[in-house]
Structure 1
Amino acid sequence: MAKVKVEVTNAVVGGKTHGKTLMVEEEEAVKLEKNRYVKRVAAKKSEDKA
């Protein structure tokens, strides 16, 4: 499964606090988004090609 970049909104996720970004598995990102702990960050064009 692919990893996605998320921004922490209202929790501590993977040791990161509000406003910090981290890479998580897509499945985990979906679960965290449902609880409003994170939001996905749009990938840069250079990352899309990689």
Structure 2
Amino acid sequence: MIEYLVRAGAGGVMVVACPPRDCWNREGVTWLEERVYNEREAELKDRVDRR
């Protein structure tokens, strides 16, 4: 999503997350960091446009 927005002309993208070890989603911050640095593939629903 971040790359898509930048390629579409966004001047920047702000990514926000819970503080480490204090997130409602057990692995939320870890998974976000891994996805941003291409260490983890996002598990998208079939209906999501993957362009």
TM over 0.5, yes or no? no
Q: TM-score, normalised by structure 2?
A: 0.34
Larger relative contact order (Cα-Cα within 8 Å, sequence gap ≥ 6) = 1
Q: TM-score, normalised by structure 1?
A: 0.34
Q: Which has the higher strand share?
A: 1
